[in-house]
Amino acid sequence: MSTGVETHVETAAQAASPSSQAILRYTRFAILLHWIIAAMILAQIAAGFWIADALQSTEKTMRLAAYEQAQIHKSLGLTILALSVLRLAWRLVNPAPPLPEGMSLLERAGAHASHIGFYVLMIAMPLSGWLMVSHSATFSSVPTVYFGLFEVPHLPLPPVLGAEAKASFGGLSHQAHGWLAISALVLLALHVGAALKHHYVDRDGVLARMTPGVRPRGDAGDVAKVPYREAVGGLRWALALALAVGLGGAAYGISQYAANTTSVDVAVETTSSGPEDAMSGMAQAWGVVETESVISFETENAGDPVVGQFTSWKALIEFDADDLAVSEVVVIVDIPSISTGDLIYDGSLVEPDWFNAAAFPKGTFVAKEFVAGGSDGEYVAKGSLTLRGVEKPFDLPFSLSIDGDRAEMSSQVMIDRSDFGIGVKADPDGMWVPMPVQLKVKVVALRAN
């Protein structure tokens, strides 16, 4: 009686025996992954260089196209990472068919080294891209949205690394990303050259065993139907272990990420003070009709119009047109409620370099001085605007019409985002998003008493 393992070992012995001259193929799965990954990597390298170039273009439309392509590049790159890990795990369990006997020691060493090199690159290229977008000053404020479906978290670095080390990590991985791709091109030239030499010069069927539809040349014999993986067994445990470690690691990473984000939110929530405290004790003369009121903004990203609004905010309004001296308004905006209808912009805008919503979840406008404008129903609310933790004097001109117990106010004013440090690192020259941003406010309120 023989065990399963003995059977596999027997098959291996037969397969390796000189009497069986059949050239064994890679498994169908290995062939499929080889060609899918190869095609994707080539597309990625071409797209990557194009994107890097177009992001620097002086033409806004080019920059916008590059910005959109970068999301596809990142999504495809992460797919390559997942497929490559799968392929490597598969490969560890299913060894490659033995190399043809006629190959010299040097050729064998070269073949092994280049294959190992490719496996390293297939993982290191996407990983360096992921690290770059997670930690470089230029890219970390743009979220990675996987084919528009969900946001992929930034790769965390060990907390022992200080902010400075993390920042230099971003720059390093950026450089590594380009150089790894160039190394892949060099290796590819050698790899293709070797494959063609096997096919046309050695005629040993090496190209055929990795390529569906390609017949071995010369007397390489039949391409055996039996995949080599049948010659090994038992190692499936290694695959199960690799998968368990991978999944465990991913779950740990995600839980760490979630824990970090919530703890920052909670800390900020409980320590925030100021305007909200200032509001207590204010009489609420007017109540906002939320369904008819809106705080919106208009800007552009590389020439593409971006219109958004804050969907969650509250205002306490005490206003008497006949007694401006006692009038007072406090508006508190929930920054994370920013919404442009575009997942990518929304994700970017709350990032540290833009509104830094985790550290500064509230934007406030407090006005205690009102002056009547030139014409009827025109006023200016003079006060201070606080965004991203920066407080600046701010005048809000508005027009107001009061009809019985109902008041309607509207205002349009420009805000210079650089005054508040919004996006000054990611886009310091307003090359993507101009510095002046149009703010539009419409408030409908009912007299409360």
Q: Considering the complex, state which of residue 153 and residue 352 has its C-beta at the smaller distance from ligand HEM.
A: 153
Q: Is residue 424 within the footprint of ligand HEM (CB under 6 A)?
A: no
Among 15, 93, 122, 335, binds ligand HEM (CB under 6 A): 122
Q: Which stretch binds ligand HEM (CB under 6 A): 66-74, 319-327, 355-363, 427-435?
A: 66-74
Among 15, 65, 70, 400, binds ligand HEM (CB under 6 A): 70
Among 34, 217, 382, 406, binds ligand HEM (CB under 6 A): 34
SS3 of 275-312: HHHHHCCCCCCEEECHHHCEEEEEEEECCEEEEEEECC
Q: Considering the complex, state which of residue 55 and residue 344 has its C-beta at the smaller distance from ligand HEM.
A: 55
**Contact code string over 163-202 relative to ligand HEM, x by CB under 6 A:** --------------xx--x--x---x--xx--x-------
Q: Is residue 443 within the footprint of ligand HEM (CB under 6 A)?
A: no
**Contact code string over 313-352 relative to ligand HEM, x by CB under 6 A:** ----------------------------------------
Among 15, 23, 65, 207, binds ligand HEM (CB under 6 A): 207
Among 24, 48, 313, 386, binds ligand HEM (CB under 6 A): 48
Nearest to 284, CA basis, from 324, 261, 315, 262:
315
The answer to whether 447 and 314 are in contact (CB under 8 A) is no
Cα–Cα dist 217/203, whole Å: 5
The answer to whether 208 and 23 are in contact (CB under 8 A) is yes
Q: Is residue 27 within the footprint of ligand HEM (CB under 6 A)?
A: no
The answer to whether 432 and 425 are in contact (CB under 8 A) is no
Q: Which stretch binds ligand HEM (CB under 6 A): 113-121, 344-352, 373-381, 438-446?
A: 113-121
- Crossing angle for the helix pair 60-93 and 105-135, to the nearest 10 degrees: 130
Secondary-structure breakdown of the chain: helix, strand, coil percentages, each rounded to the nearest 5: 50, 20, 30
Cα–Cα dist 421/353, whole Å: 8
Give least dist CB 245 to ligand HEM, A: 21
Give least dist CB 46 to ligand HEM, A: 8
Give least dist CB 300 to ligand HEM, A: 21
C-alpha distances in Å from residue 158, one per residue of 131, 142, 162, 256, 257: 13, 21, 9, 11, 12
Cα–Cα dist 53/1, whole Å: 66
Instruction: Report phi then psi at 445, rounded to 5.
Output: -135, 150
For residue 127 the two structure tokens come to 């990983």
Q: Considering the complex, state which of residue 115 and residue 440 has its C-beta at the smaller distance from ligand HEM.
A: 115
Range 179-208 burial, b when 16+ CB lie within 10 A, else e:
ebbebbeebbeebeebeeebbeebbbbbbb
Tell me which residue has its CB nearest to ligand HEM: 48
Among 36, 38, 85, 223, binds ligand HEM (CB under 6 A): 38
The answer to whether 49 and 56 are in contact (CB under 8 A) is no
Q: Is residue 420 within the footprint of ligand HEM (CB under 6 A)?
A: no
Q: Around Cβ 433, how many Cβ atoms within 10 Å?
A: 20
Among 15, 23, 51, 338, binds ligand HEM (CB under 6 A): 51
Cα–Cα dist 352/154, whole Å: 13
Among 65, 80, 344, 422, binds ligand HEM (CB under 6 A): 80
Q: Which stretch binds ligand HEM (CB under 6 A): 124-132, 251-259, 266-274, 408-416?
A: 124-132
Cα–Cα dist 300/430, whole Å: 10
Q: Considering the complex, state which of residue 142 and residue 316 has its C-beta at the smaller distance from ligand HEM.
A: 142
Residue 361: strand, helix, or coil: coil
Residues that bind ligand HEM (CB under 6 A): 34, 37-38, 41-42, 44-45, 48-49, 51-52, 55, 70, 73-74, 77-78, 80, 91, 96, 99, 111, 115, 118-119, 122, 125-126, 129-130, 133, 139, 144, 177-178, 181, 184, 188, 191-192, 195, 206-207, 209-210
